[in-house]
């Protein structure tokens, strides 16, 4: 996220300089119907529109999806504690596929036995925040609550880096 505020529609106050300065009176005379110059479109209005049109609510008649709810927690984010593990094509853990061989003469995942080896502990990797083992059912509610202007540099949400 930019560390310096960026111009959206409302420019900074004109500087006192002779060349290249903005002349509001001339702009109003040239573009009398401009919704920006009339004040109908403001920075706050644009932020509110972006929040409602890009971050919140359900998209219908989307490209490739009939509908999509931008409120992540309402999309049925999986709870990784509920993932069934074992053999027969199931994963070894909610985070690791089953590395067991299905046995001689078979290439079918349905023939895989449950993995009996030791899965290494997940260590925090660069950029993985809480170690990459947080359940989407937990993180999606935090991500859903994000608002334009409320982003935190280097984090998905407050606490996502493991620091309270």
Q: State phi, psi for 138 to the nearest 5 degrees.
A: -85, -50
CA 126 – CA 92 distance, rounded (Å): 24
CA-CA-CA-CA torsion for 84, 92, 109, 88, nearest 10 degrees? -40
User: pLDDT-based confidence at 158, cuts 50/70/90?
Assistant: confident
Grouping H, G, I as helix, E, B as strand and the rest as coil, residue 93 is strand
Q: Name the more confident of 122 and 46.
A: 46
Per-residue pLDDT tens for 87-122?
999 999 988 899 999 999 999 999 999 999 998 876
pLDDT at 7: 84
pLDDT at 129: 64
The single residue listed with the structure tokens 């309402």 is 74
69 bridge partner residues:
58
- For residue 35, the enclosing domain spans 23-55
User: pLDDT-based confidence at 55, cuts 50/70/90?
Assistant: confident
CA 55 – CA 98 distance, rounded (Å): 36
Q: Which two tokens stand for residue 147?
A: 């608002």
Specify if 136 maps to a domain.
no
Whether residue 27 has pLDDT greater than 80: yes
Whether residue 163 has pLDDT greater than 80: no
Specify if 82 maps to a domain.
no
Mean pLDDT estimate for the chain: 82
Specify if 44 maps to a domain.
yes
Specify if 46 maps to a domain.
yes
User: How do strand 67-69 and strand 58-60 relate by DSSP bridges?
Assistant: antiparallel
Whether residue 125 has pLDDT greater than 70: no
pLDDT at 113: 96
Residues 6 or more apart in contact with residue 93 via CB below 8 angstroms: 83, 85, 119
Specify if 13 maps to a domain.
no
pLDDT at 115: 94
- Decide if 116 contacts 85 (C-beta within 8 A): no
Specify if 145 maps to a domain.
no
Give me the percent of the chain exceeding a pLDDT of 90: 30
pTM for the model stands at: 0.57
Domain count within the chain: 1
Specify if 111 maps to a domain.
no
Specify if 42 maps to a domain.
yes
- Decide if 58 contacts 70 (C-beta within 8 A): yes
């Amino acid at each position: 996220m930019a560390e310096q505020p960026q111009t959206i529609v409302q420019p900074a106050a004109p500087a006192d300089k002779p060349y290249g300065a903005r002349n509001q009176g001339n702009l109003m005379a040239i573009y009398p119907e401009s919704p920006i110059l009339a004040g109908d479109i403001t920075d706050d209005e644009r932020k509110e529109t972006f929040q409602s049109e890009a971050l919140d609510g359900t998209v219908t008649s989307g490209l490739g999806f009939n509908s999509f709810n931008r409120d992540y927690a309402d999309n049925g984010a999986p709870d990784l504690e509920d993932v069934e593990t074992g053999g027969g094509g199931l994963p070894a853990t909610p985070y690791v596929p089953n590395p067991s061989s299905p046995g001689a003469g078979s290439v079918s995942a349905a023939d895989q036995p449950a993995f009996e080896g030791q899965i290494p502990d997940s260590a925090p990797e660069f950029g993985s925040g809480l170690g990459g083992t947080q359940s989407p059912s937990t993180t999606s509610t935090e991500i859903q609550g994000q608002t334009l202007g409320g982003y935190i540099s280097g984090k998905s949400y407050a606490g996502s880096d493991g620091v309270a």
